[in-house]
Amino acid sequence: MTTMRKLYEKYGAPEYVKIDIEGADGICLDQLLILTKGSSSAARLLPRYLTFECNSLAWIDKAVALGYGYFKLVLLPLSLSLSLS
């Protein structure tokens, strides 16, 4: 299985990360949290830009915990966004 840690080890810290795992984007956010937890260089490990589908408001909390403070939310049509919790 490919993990964020394996990708970081192979390629280094990216400038931009686009997460698109069809409803499981939170898994990558969790992996970023684990990767940076307790690291004195956490800010250098984080991509400057991060994109993910927000299927859960808890994912915004995870992004905030990572240190992100500015967000651009794009609304989906109502029929597609009913499952957002």
pLDDT by residue (tens digit) across 55-67? 888 889 999 998 8
Mean pLDDT estimate for the chain: 82
pLDDT at 34 over 80: yes
b/e 42-76 (16+ beta carbons within 10 angstroms → b)? eeebbeeebebbbbbeebeebbeebeeeeeeeeee
pLDDT at 76: 65
- The angle formed by the CA atoms of residues 8, 31 and 36, to the nearest 5 degrees, is 70
